[in-house]
Amino acid sequence: MKLGMRRAAIAAIAVLGFGGMAAHAQPDVKVGFVYVSPLGEAGWSYQHELGRQALEAALGDQVETRYVDNVSEGADAERVIREFASSGHDLVIATSFGYMNYVERVSQEFPDVQFLHATGYKDGANFANYNARFYEGRYLTGVIAGHMSETETLGYVAAVPIPEVVQGINAFTRGARSVNPDIEVRVIWTNSWYDPGREREAANTLLAQGADVLTHHTDSTAVVQAVEDSDRTAWGVGYHSDMSEFGPETHLTATTHHWGDYYIDVVESVIEGTYAPSNLWGGHAEGMIDIAPLNDAVPADVAAEIEDLQASMRDGEFHPFTGPVVNQAGEVLLEEGAVMSDSDLNQMNYFVEGVASEFPN
Amino acid sequence: MLDWPIRIVRRDRPLARMRYLSPLMAIVLMMLTGMLIFLALGRDPAEGFYTFFIRPISSLYGFGELLLKATPLMLCGIGLAIGFRANVWNIGAEGQFMLGAAGATGVALTFPNLPAFLLLPLMVVSGALAGMAWGAIPAWLKTRFNANEILVSLMLVYVAGFLVSWLVFSPWRDPMGFGFPQTEMLSSAALLPRILPGTRLNIAIFLAIALVAITWIVLQHTAIGFRLRVTGRSRSAAGYAGFSIQRAVWIGLLCGGGAAGIAGMTEVAGPMGQLTDKIALGYGFAAIIVAFLGRLHPLGVLLASLLMALLFLGGEQVQQHMNLPKSISMVFQGLLLFYLLGADLLVNYRLKWNG
Amino acid sequence: MDSGLIQEVVSATLLAGTPLIIAALGLLMNERAGVLNLGAEGMMSLGAVYGFIAALSFSSPVLGLAAGLMAGALVAGGFALLTITLQANQVASGLALAIFGVGLAGFVGKPYESQSLKAVGEWSIPLLVDIPWLGPIFFQQQPMVYLSWVLFGAVWWFLYRSRSGLLLRAVGEDPAAAHAIGRSVVGVRYLAVIFGGALCGLGGACLSIFYAPMWVEGLIAGRGWIALALVVFATWRPFRVLLGAYLFGGVLIAQLFLQGSGVKISVPSQLLSSLPYLATIIVLVLISRDSRRIRQHSPASLGRAFRADE
């Protein structure tokens, strides 16, 4: 009981943004987390922070964790990562793409330290990467959006055109058009992962142009809030985190990331001495991807349809990019019934049919 | 008028000694304020002082990082100092830095097979030229259309950011990089050789020091240096000295842009090893403080860049080990400049007690 | 584009320009008194963060605005001490304030990072809102839009219709003469600088309380610098500040509407994103090319220190 309260207190401090270190007696494993953005109450880094807290909660005194947030992906990041490696940490977890090359260099310098890197494509003897199949959640939220949209126009506020973002836009579009083939999706690029002012402007623009379900691939809650604050009848779909508290009335659902179980698995195997670096791209089956509880406005039959889809994704029976996959020009890129390979997914550089905006080059 | 207890009285002539003492006063004041900040946050000021100022350089690696971080600050700072001497307010070194990084990357990507002894100098030159080109825009708009160089050079920082972003997203995107916004890793010939085993320190520090030395000689011993100084003091006197303000604007912005461009080159060819949209870390802005703190004097710039580098490293250490936000670095930097500007009063004035 | 969409664009433009107007009106006043304060970005950042914290803590947007205003005024007071009393270089001091303010705002705002406020609804002005087509654009806006119009009117009236405004302008034009007739140049400049800081703080608070409405590090995102550019663009005249801010906001909003329209445009989005900054440069060039006009309108002593005993 007492211990639980202490953890709760630590978690509370951590949420305030100043936490990080818990003074346990002689832990078995020390883990350092590097986050790219300042920790808020939702978003990419926040989900990793929840994972870190789950790790502490599950393994108690066996693990000691620290984190640094707001670490830019420039050359300074290498020093921060190295500082963890050189100060007695057994495992360093770097949670943004831009850290990849620094992690590679530092991992070669510290062969006795294990490194994990999120969303990259490189690995090494003591260096593995992990990522989640965000597009699975995107497809589901697209299905819901397709059912809920009256105007048949959906809006998407996106940061920058990398394959992960493009996958999301395409999966969302395919999901929506699987239930209403007349849907079109409009995209506004903000050219920044984290610029709530511009995200809100973009959301308001899409609303003014008739989109009635909005989602985003940026790091703030601005889009969900803009929908909530708008006088129009529209719905918001969150990303990274359950953002319902930012849109109590209009938040339909969200694609949510869950890293805790993975971190716990890795650290447990490190403690047991059975850890061997291996890359992982996990989705519903691995518990890394889910969607937030649905808004009450979502009809029961839609909710049931979503549950079926989720079950079939967990079983590996359904893949959102199952052919035919048709691009904007109407060319069939993947034949009916075929499932897109991971490497094709990772190099996605086109929009599918149904996205109204031009693919940025 | 109010009757202040202290009056400010002009000295008969400027106290030269104060020009060198006031930076030291500013540093001491900044450190004292820093201790107060730690105290106010309920932290042990001694621990804060140690973590901020000593711990970053208590290892060989840390020492290497200090010089590595000081290199672009020194380069940007020396370029800005030249312009500031002539009252040419280039505050867009950050953008010129980005262009320099892009210029150097362009050469490295175009000629991947050149040997290092050709490729590296070529990258330095192209980085400098690209930075100069970016500096030439405000210079041209100032001399031709009278547009304020402070604002134009600053707006161009944002444009430079989008330009680099476009480069790494479109034409220069690594085809094997899964679509991420980055160029391929530069060939080993395009990387600056490291000079201190176990650290990231590379030969760019010598380049920076050499540029500082050359600037010193030029400013001290040539007519250009003299004229720039004169222009800075008085625009009409510059006319008598046979030197147009227009030329001062061009020299100031081209030197500033060129040096910042070289700094950008040292970042891609040094710790980055590639161009990404995260290349700029605020060196161009921090260099403004470097230039002032260094009294617009080359030797001063060299020392100031080391101090400013320490402030960056210290902020990071305080973040990582004391869980304080690293924006504390910028608070320290701003304070330092405030104190310096305040202390400078004592160069020309003295305080006199009333009564 | 249909007429409803044009209404949307104009309405969003007014909103986007408003924080800039408020800050730029303040800067205009202190520049009219002959003091150049380049610290706008820092003052806006501090106004935004303290305004946000107060609005959140007291659940009161009005207290938030007051806190933002005071934060801006306070640091501007420090700037005034440095540049007016201690005679420090105005450009350098302003840059120091910009860096210090942004840093301190990030530091102070850390525990509030990405927290949000409940949005303040739009206010409809009775009767006026019923004007066909124009009513919903101009008279169904967030309160800060009306606030910016009131401030505009007040600044205009002060500068051109009040005796104090005359003194302020005289101090900016010829401080020695103002001093000679027994006016306190130092006092006027102090007040003008503090007023400028207060409005910058207020503009920042409007961003974090009305526009975003949230606090994140880097929220100001260069708007302080753009406000400074607006003052030059406006050749130190209030009405043109209004015009310039709406022009800037218009470019910003138009590029979003273009992207969101679904029209196939093969222009890189980075180019669209840089349009507002390019537009600022172009407008600066257009306005500055006639150097006589700039000289005619710019306060003659702008940026220069004044000492009575010289």
Mean pLDDT of C49-59: 96
Q: Does B162 touch chain A (CB under 8 A)?
A: yes
Residue of A nearest to B69 (CA): A76
Please, are residues B326 and C81 in contact by the beta-carbon 8 Å criterion?
Answer: no
Contacts (Cβ under 8 Å, ≥6 apart) of A101 = A122, B185, B273, B274
Contact residues, chain B, for C96 at CB < 8 Å: 289, 292, 334, 337-338, 341
Q: Are residues A85 and A146 in the same domain?
A: no
Mean pLDDT of C168-186: 89
CATH number assigned to the domain comprising residue A140: 3.40.50.2300
Q: Nearest CA to CA, how far is C310 from chain B (Å)?
A: 9
CA angle A188, A194, A195 (to 5 degrees): 70
Identify which of A225, A160, A222 has the alpha carbon closest to the alpha carbon of residue A196: A222
* H helix or E strand, kind and range, residue A23: none
> Three-state DSSP class for C128?
helix
pLDDT number for residue A98: 92
Place of tokens 């034949």: A335
Domain assignment of residue A334, yes or no: yes
Angstrom CA distances, A45 to A165, C28, C271, stand at 17, 41, 29
pLDDT digits (tens, 9 = 90+) for A300-341: 999 999 999 999 999 999 999 998 999 999 999 999 999 999
Q: Where do the structural domains in chain C lie, given as residue ranges? A: 3-124+142-297
Q: Please state whether beta strands C123-124 and C140-141 pair in parallel, antiparallel, or not at all (unpaired).
A: antiparallel
What is the residue-averaged pLDDT of chain C?
89
Domain ends where: A132, A161, A196?
A132
Please, are residues A250 and A233 in contact by the beta-carbon 8 Å criterion?
Answer: no
* H helix or E strand, kind and range, residue C244: helix C238-260
* H helix or E strand, kind and range, residue B351: strand B349-353
Mean pLDDT of A148-175: 95
Tell me which of A107 and C269 has the higher pLDDT.
A107
Chain B neighbours (≥3 Cβ pairs under 8 A) are A, C
- Asked whether residue A20 carries a pLDDT value surpassing 50, the answer given is no
Q: Are residues A296 and A186 in the same domain?
A: yes
Chain C neighbours (≥3 Cβ pairs under 8 A) are A, B
Q: Does B293 touch chain C (CB under 8 A)?
A: no
CATH architecture assignment, domain C3-124+142-297 = Orthogonal Bundle (1.10)
What is the residue-averaged pLDDT of chain A?
90
**Bond prior to A324 in cis (omega within 30° of 0):** yes
Taking the C-alpha atoms of residue A129 and residue A132, their distance in angstroms, rounded to an integer, is 11
Taking the C-alpha atoms of residue B208 and residue B200, their distance in angstroms, rounded to an integer, is 16
Taking the C-alpha atoms of residue C199 and residue C69, their distance in angstroms, rounded to an integer, is 6
Interchain proximity C280–B151, CB inside 8 Å: yes
Identify which of A356, C210, A226 has the alpha carbon closest to the alpha carbon of residue A235: A226
Q: Does A361 touch chain B (CB under 8 A)?
A: yes
Angstrom CA distances, A76 to A289, B287, B309, B315, C51, stand at 31, 17, 12, 12, 32
Q: Are residues A340 and A247 in the same domain?
A: yes
pLDDT digits (tens, 9 = 90+) for C82-97: 999 888 888 888 988 9
Interchain proximity C281–B285, CB inside 8 Å: no
Query: In this structure, how many other beta carbons lie within 10 angstroms of the beta carbon of residue A280?
Result: 15
- Expressed in angstroms, the distance from the first to the final Cα of chain A is 56
Q: Does A269 touch chain B (CB under 8 A)?
A: no
Contact residues, chain C, for A200 at CB < 8 Å: 211-212
Contact residues, chain C, for A361 at CB < 8 Å: 266, 268
ipTM of the complex: 0.89
Domains and CATH numbers, chain B: 44-52+66-323 (1.10.3470)
- Which amino acid, one-letter code, is at C303? G
Domain assignment of residue A358, yes or no: no
Q: What is the CA radius of gyration of chain A?
A: 21
Domain ends where: A90, A111, A132?
A132
Taking the C-alpha atoms of residue A292 and residue A272, their distance in angstroms, rounded to an integer, is 34
Residue of B nearest to A19 (CA): B323
pLDDT digits (tens, 9 = 90+) for A91-102: 999 999 999 999
Q: What is the CA radius of gyration of chain C?
A: 20
Nearest to C260 among A70, A205, A228 (CB): A205
Question: Would you list the DSSP string of A39-87?
Answer: --SSSHHHHHHHHHHHHHHHHGGGEEEEEE----SSTHHHHHHHHHHHT
* H helix or E strand, kind and range, residue A176: helix A163-179
Angstrom CA distances, A197 to C6, C190, C206, C229, stand at 21, 33, 12, 20
Nearest to C216 among A194, A246, A358 (CB): A194
| pLDDT interval class at A22 (50, 70, 90) | very low
- Asked whether residue A23 carries a pLDDT value surpassing 50, the answer given is no
Q: Are residues A70 and A14 in the same domain?
A: yes
Q: Domain of A247?
A: 134-256+289-346
- Expressed in angstroms, the distance from the first to the final Cα of chain C is 62
pLDDT digits (tens, 9 = 90+) for A265-299: 999 999 999 999 999 999 999 999 999 999 999 99
Q: What's the pTM value of the predicted model, to 2 decimals? A: 0.90
| Helix, strand, coil % over all residues of chain C, rounded to 5 | 75, 0, 25
Taking the C-alpha atoms of residue A62 and residue A48, their distance in angstroms, rounded to an integer, is 20
Interchain proximity B341–C110, CB inside 8 Å: no
Question: Would you list the DSSP string of C171-237?
Answer: HHH-HHHHHHTT--HHHHHHHHHHHHHHHHHHHHHHIIIIIS-B--TT-STTHHHHHHHHHHHTTT-
DSSP code at position A215:
E
Identify which of A232, A188, A228 has the alpha carbon closest to the alpha carbon of residue A208: A232
Angstrom CA distances, A6 to A12, A15, A29, A56, B93, stand at 10, 14, 20, 12, 49
Please, are residues B325 and C106 in contact by the beta-carbon 8 Å criterion?
Answer: yes
Please, are residues A95 and A33 in contact by the beta-carbon 8 Å criterion?
Answer: yes
Please, are residues B332 and B27 in contact by the beta-carbon 8 Å criterion?
Answer: no
Chain A neighbours (≥3 Cβ pairs under 8 A) are B, C
Taking the C-alpha atoms of residue C65 and residue C79, their distance in angstroms, rounded to an integer, is 21
Q: What region does A341 belong to: left with phi over 0, alpha with psi -120 to 50, or beta?
A: beta
pLDDT number for residue A11: 42
Contact residues, chain C, for B149 at CB < 8 Å: none
Domain assignment of residue A359, yes or no: no
Q: Are residues A26 and A149 in the same domain?
A: no
Contacts (Cβ under 8 Å, ≥6 apart) of B92 = B134, B135, B138, B152, B153, B154, B155, B156, B157, B160, B284
Identify which of A225, A156, A159, A162 has the alpha carbon closest to the alpha carbon of residue A190: A159
Q: Could you tell me where the beta strands, DSSP code E, fall in chain A?
A: 29-34, 63-68, 91-94, 114-118, 127-132, 153-158, 184-189, 213-217, 235-240, 251-257, 280-282, 289-291, 325-326, 332-334
Identify which of A193, A199, A186 has the alpha carbon closest to the alpha carbon of residue B165: A193
Angstrom CA distances, A292 to A194, C146, C219, stand at 22, 39, 28
* H helix or E strand, kind and range, residue B43: none
Please, are residues B169 and B177 in contact by the beta-carbon 8 Å criterion?
Answer: no
pLDDT digits (tens, 9 = 90+) for A181-209: 999 999 999 988 888 888 999 999 999 99
Q: Does A346 touch chain B (CB under 8 A)?
A: yes
Q: Are residues A300 and A233 in the same domain?
A: yes
Q: Are residues A203 and A112 in the same domain?
A: no
Nearest to A155 among C9, C257, C260 (CB): C260
| One pLDDT digit (tens) per residue for chain B, 355 residues | 455 677 777 788 877 788 888 889 999 999 999 999 999 989 999 999 999 999 999 999 999 999 999 999 999 999 999 999 888 999 999 999 999 999 999 999 999 999 999 999 999 999 999 999 999 999 999 999 888 898 899 899 999 999 999 999 989 999 888 888 999 999 999 999 999 998 999 999 999 999 999 999 998 888 777 777 777 766 666 565 556 788 889 999 999 999 999 999 999 999 999 999 999 888 999 999 899 889 899 999 999 999 999 999 999 999 988 888 888 888 898 889 889 988 887 887 787 777 5
| pLDDT interval class at A57 (50, 70, 90) | very high
Taking the C-alpha atoms of residue C158 and residue C192, their distance in angstroms, rounded to an integer, is 12
- Asked whether residue A13 carries a pLDDT value surpassing 80, the answer given is no
Burial class of residue B185, CB neighbours in 10 A (0-12, 13-18, 19+): middle
- Asked whether residue C155 carries a pLDDT value surpassing 60, the answer given is yes
Total domain count, chain A: 2
pLDDT number for residue B4: 63
Contacts (Cβ under 8 Å, ≥6 apart) of B279 = A74, B98, B101, B164, B264, B267, B268, B272
Query: In this structure, how many other beta carbons lie within 10 angstroms of the beta carbon of residue A233?
Result: 10
- Asked whether residue A2 carries a pLDDT value surpassing 50, the answer given is no
Contact residues, chain C, for B333 at CB < 8 Å: 99-100, 103
What does the block give as tokens for C178? 């103002």
What does the block give as tokens for C155? 């600044």
Taking the C-alpha atoms of residue A169 and residue A349, their distance in angstroms, rounded to an integer, is 11
Q: Are residues A73 and A154 in the same domain?
A: no
Interchain proximity B327–C228, CB inside 8 Å: no
Interchain proximity C42–B334, CB inside 8 Å: yes
Domain assignment of residue A277, yes or no: no
> Three-state DSSP class for A326?
strand
pLDDT number for residue B240: 59
Interchain proximity A18–C110, CB inside 8 Å: yes
Domain ends where: A109, A132, A155?
A132
CA angle C243, C249, C250 (to 5 degrees): 85
Identify which of C233, C167, C217, C207 has the alpha carbon closest to the alpha carbon of residue C27: C233
Q: Nearest CA to CA, how far is B201 from chain C (Å)?
A: 28
Taking the C-alpha atoms of residue C36 and residue C83, their distance in angstroms, rounded to an integer, is 10
Interchain proximity B345–C88, CB inside 8 Å: yes
What's the length of chain C? Answer: 310
pLDDT number for residue A211: 96
Residue of A nearest to B180 (CA): A162
Contact residues, chain A, for C219 at CB < 8 Å: 196-197
Residue of C nearest to A12 (CA): C111
